[in-house]
Amino acid sequence: MNEYVPGLEGVPATKSNISFIDGEKGVLAYRGYPIEQLAEHSTFEETALLLLDGQLPVAAELAAFDAELRNNRRVKYNIAAIMKSLPATGHPMEMLQTAVASLGMFYPGSERLTGPNAWQDLDYIHGMSVKIIARMATLVAMWEHIRNGYDPIAPRTDLTYAQNFLYMMNGREPDPLIAKMFDTCLVLHAEHTINASTFAALVAGSTLATPSAVVASAVGTLFGPLHGGANERVVEMLEEIGSPEKVKLWLDAKLAAKEKIWGMGHREYKVKDPRAVILQRLVEKLAEHRGGKMSRLFDTALALEEAASARLAEKGVYPNVDYYSGILYAEMGFPTDQFTSIFAVARAAGWLAHWREQLRYNRIFRPTQMYTGEGLRHYQPITDRQ
């Protein structure tokens, strides 16, 4: 095979039984369970275990996993010290990549990944997955306080994953409905087949790099605005538009300039992303909960979706997961530049599930290229060059 496919569109990079997308029908399933059912009935803890182990857990298994997560929330003092030495103006995703990578310094174990039976060492593989998934939320919330010059709020073990994150961010126990909605957001963001960041995780994992290095590679890849960074841009874009009446002119100008509309379009989906459908409903539910009060961002987003669909539907460009998640996160009070790190907190479960799956039949990624450079030529000493 020697055809070059830009962006590897349609090129299978692995075999996986973790998640499935039907982009024509708007279907997403984790381990065979439709995302709508998981959003309705599951929790982040259960979904993470489903992704890692492949089956819905029985009650005792879930309780044990939940306890492991709760007991792994604290991060070492030295990691807080590293974070305190970073510039407060830095982006939370750069911080997260640094902090996750630093976990590898404190929890070494690369020797446990070599050898033909390494994939069976669940003590290490599961143990490290728990350590990373539990600590991701702590790192993101800690940074919110550290960068503002305050001491981080210590995690609690009596709260669920979602509740504890909201508590660590805001310093108070969350409204139960908001905590439930946030939990659903984590479920929706936990996994999404072989996207750019998961591919990055697999490439790093294929070298038998440690799981902290694998997740750090993925976090760096998620950062970009064509991937996870889009949720942050969506809110900035809606603020720039200002109000629903201004949508049409704004859109005309953007499309005429061949610019992208943030939070729209997807390599896999040619219809509205099923996660965007659920997130939109959550935004509506939150507005109801608040007695109909909702920022103009939502009205503007609805107007933009309608106007954009008249112009972009023929290209299969519809809202993706990032379109409504940013509005929801803004309404939950999260700073805009934390949206992508919150996405990463949830996605760590998917990245680590793929890492674990790949270890079973690992082969290092080493694609080829189509060389387009010079033929062989003679080196000229600098004094002979013109």
Q: Which residues are catalytic?
A: 266, 322
Q: Which is nearer to ligand COA, 31 or 192 (CB)?
A: 192
Q: Which is nearer to ligand COA, 126 or 227 (CB)?
A: 227
Choosing from 99, 113, 230, 303, the residue that interacts with ligand COA (CB under 6 A) is 230
Choosing from 103, 166, 317, 353, the residue that interacts with ligand COA (CB under 6 A) is 317
State the binding string over 259-288 for ligand COA (x if CB under 6 A, else -): -xxxxxxxx---------------------
Q: Which is nearer to ligand COA, 281 or 315 (CB)?
A: 315
Shortest Cβ 233–ligand COA spacing (Å): 7
Coil vs helix vs strand at 264: strand
Q: Which is nearer to ligand COA, 166 or 344 (CB)?
A: 344
Site for ligand COA in 144-173 (CB under 6 A): none
Is 27 near ligand COA (CB under 6 A)?
no
The residues with which 28 forms a beta bridge, in sequence order, are 21
Q: Which is nearer to ligand COA, 293 or 315 (CB)?
A: 315
Shortest Cβ 347–ligand COA spacing (Å): 12
Options 56-64, 164-172, 256-264, 286-294: segment touching ligand COA (CB under 6 A): 256-264
Options 11-19, 170-178, 237-245, 315-323: segment touching ligand COA (CB under 6 A): 315-323
> What DSSP letter does each residue of 87-128 carry, written as one string?
-TTS-HHHHHHHHHHHHHHHS--GGGG-STTGGG-HHHHHHH
Q: Which is nearer to ligand COA, 145 or 260 (CB)?
A: 260
Choosing from 27, 287, 294, 312, the residue that interacts with ligand COA (CB under 6 A) is 312
Q: Can you read off the two tokens belonging to residue 73? A: 């929330």
Q: Can you read off the two tokens belonging to residue 36? A: 């709508």
Cα-flanking dihedrals φ and ψ of residue 27, to 5°? Answer: -110, 135
Q: How many residues of this chain interact with ligand COA, rule: CB under 6 A?
A: 18
- Using DSSP, how many helices (H) and how many strands (E) does the chain show? 16, 3
Options 13-21, 55-63, 198-206, 310-318: segment touching ligand COA (CB under 6 A): 310-318
Choosing from 156, 281, 293, 315, the residue that interacts with ligand COA (CB under 6 A) is 315
State the binding string over 187-226 for ligand COA (x if CB under 6 A, else -): ---------------------------------------x
Cα-flanking dihedrals φ and ψ of residue 296, to 5°? Answer: -65, -15
Q: Which is nearer to ligand COA, 75 or 241 (CB)?
A: 241
Shortest Cβ 287–ligand COA spacing (Å): 23
Choosing from 1, 5, 7, 10, the residue that interacts with ligand COA (CB under 6 A) is 7
221: part of which helix (H) or strand (E)?
Answer: helix 211-222
Q: Which is nearer to ligand COA, 317 or 348 (CB)?
A: 317
Site for ligand COA in 102-141 (CB under 6 A): none
Nearest residue to ligand COA by CB is 265
Shortest Cβ 234–ligand COA spacing (Å): 7
Burial class (CB in 10 A: 0-12, 13-18, 19+), 214: buried
Does residue 320 contact residue 279 with C-beta atoms inside 8 Å? no
Give contact residues for ligand COA (rule: CB under 6 A).
Answer: 7, 226-227, 230, 260-267, 312, 315, 317, 320-322
